[in-house]
Amino acid sequence: MRKLCPNFDNEDGLETVLEVPVPEEMFQCMGSSASNRWQSLRSLMNAESDYKSSHLSSTTSNEFIALLKLVGSPLIPVQVQSDQTLLTRPLRDCSIEDSTAKYIVQQYVAATGGLAALNALESMYAVGQVRMLGSEMQLGDDSVHTRGKAELGGFVLWQKNPDLWFLELVVSGFKVSAGCDGKLAWNQSSSHPFNANRGPPRPLRRLFQGLDPRSTANLFLDAVCVGDKTINNEECFMLKVETALHILHAQSSPNTEIIRHTIWGYFSQRTGLLMKFEDNKLVRMMKPPLKGNVSVFWETNIESVIEEYRYVDGINIAHAGTTVATLHRYGGSHNHKRKIEETWQIEEIGFNIPGLSMDCFLPPSDPQEGT
C-alpha cells in the first residue's frame, strides 16, 4: 500500500505521510502519469478529490457515501464493558443456554491468546485495504448479485477501549471518518457535515471482525446458545444477543422506530475462534405516512465471514474476511433489495501504542445529533 506522497514543490523536501494508506491498484487508477496520481492523492488528503468511479452501482455521490457508511463504518447496537473482571464471571445461576454461551466464550478467550494477554491490551491500531462491489436497488424477492467494477480503498483504525476509537476510510477518492470519545459516537465525510449518532456511545462493528477479541468476548458474555451451523466447512456454535427495548428506543428518532437489532456470533467447535459475525436491524419509517396507515420498513442484514487468523504479540487476530450487507425495503408497494460486498485485508496491526491520548478521539466541533 502507498504510504508516502513526494514533495513536488521541493524535490529536496521531505515526503508527506498519507493519513490513510491506499492500495497500489487504486493509486494506478488515479491518473495517467505519476505527477497526476500524486496530485490526486494530495487532493484526496484535503477531501477535495474529483476522482470517481462506478460508485457501487449508485447514481449520486451522496448515495455512494451512504453505502460506504453502511458497510464501512456501522456501529453495533449495544455498549460493551471494558471491565477486565467480566471475562471471569461465574457460570452459576445461569440457564443451560446462558452457561453454554459463557463456556464457548471462555474457549474463545483461550483461542485468541488467553485472559492475561487480552487484559494486558490497552490500545491498538490497524491498517487495511478494502475492495467493494455493489448492486443496484432491485425489485422483488429474488436473490441480489453484485456487479460492475470494484471500488478500492484503505482504512486506518485506532482504539483505546470499546468507547474510544477513530476510523478513517478512503474508497475511490471518497473519505469517511467516524469515531467515539467515550461520550459521543459520530461520523462525517468529504461531502457530508458532522453527524452525531443517537443514543449512548457504541463500538465500531469492524472491531468485532476478529480485531478486538476482548471486546468480542465481553459482548457475547450475555448471549445465549441457539444451535449450531456450518461456516466455511467448520462446525460452529451459534451465540445470539438481543438488543434491549430501551436501547432501541434511545436510538430511534421522530422519523424512525428501530423494532429490533440482533447480533449472532458463530464460533468454531474445533478451534474456538469466531468464524462469522452477523447482525440484523429492522426499522419502521414513521414519516411520511402512507395511505391506509401502511408501514414501510428498512431491514439491514450484515454478515462478516472472518479468516486468516495469525498471532501478533501473542494475540490471535483475523487478517482477512468478507462482509456482505443486504438492504431490503418493503411495505405497501415497496419491495426492493440491494447488496454491498466488502473484501478486507489487514496489512498492519499493533498493540499498546505509546502516546495515544484522549485528544486522538475528540469529535469535530459543533456536534448535531442525527441518526
CATH code where residue 206 lies: 2.50.20
Residue type, 20: V
Indicate if the pLDDT at residue 344 is higher than 60. Answer: yes
Q: What's the whole-number mean pLDDT along residues 330-345?
A: 90
Question: Domain for residue 140, yes or no?
Answer: yes
Q: Identify any residues that bridge with 283 across adjacent strands, giving them in sequence order.
A: 258, 298
Q: What's the whole-number mean pLDDT along residues 348-360?
A: 93
Residues 109 and 42 in one domain: no
Question: Domain for residue 105, yes or no?
Answer: yes
Cα–chain center distance at 315: 20
Residues 106 and 194 in one domain: yes
pLDDT in tens, 269-314: 999 999 999 999 999 997 765 566 778 999 999 999 999 999 999 9
Residues 150 and 228 in one domain: yes
Range of the domain at 41: 2-7+17-51
pLDDT in tens, 228-239: 999 999 999 999
Q: Which of 180-189, 307-316, 362-371 has the lowest mean pLDDT?
A: 362-371
- Residue 326 makes CB contacts below 8 A (sequence gap 6+) with 144, 300, 301, 302, 337, 338, 339
Sign of CA dihedral 186, 222, 342, 58: negative
Residues 196 and 91 in one domain: yes
Residues 31 and 178 in one domain: no
Indicate if the pLDDT at residue 347 is higher than 70. Answer: yes
Question: Domain for residue 366, yes or no?
Answer: no
Residues of the chain above pLDDT 70, percent: 79
Residues 91 and 200 in one domain: yes
pLDDT at 150: 87
pLDDT in tens, 4-41: 666 666 666 676 666 677 766 666 665 556 666 666 66
Residues 101 and 198 in one domain: yes
DSSP sequence for 321-338: EEEEEEEEEEETTEEEEE
Residues 24 and 139 in one domain: no
Question: Domain for residue 371, yes or no?
Answer: no
Residues 84 and 180 in one domain: yes
Q: Which of 94, 123, 91, 93 is nearest to 107 (CA)?
A: 91
Question: Domain for residue 12, yes or no?
Answer: no
Number of domains in the chain: 2
Question: Domain for residue 117, yes or no?
Answer: yes
Residues 337 and 247 in one domain: yes
Question: Domain for residue 173, yes or no?
Answer: yes
Residues 95 and 227 in one domain: yes
Helix (H) or strand (E) holding 234: strand 234-242
Residues 22 and 156 in one domain: no
More confident residue, 240 or 290: 240
Question: Domain for residue 203, yes or no?
Answer: yes
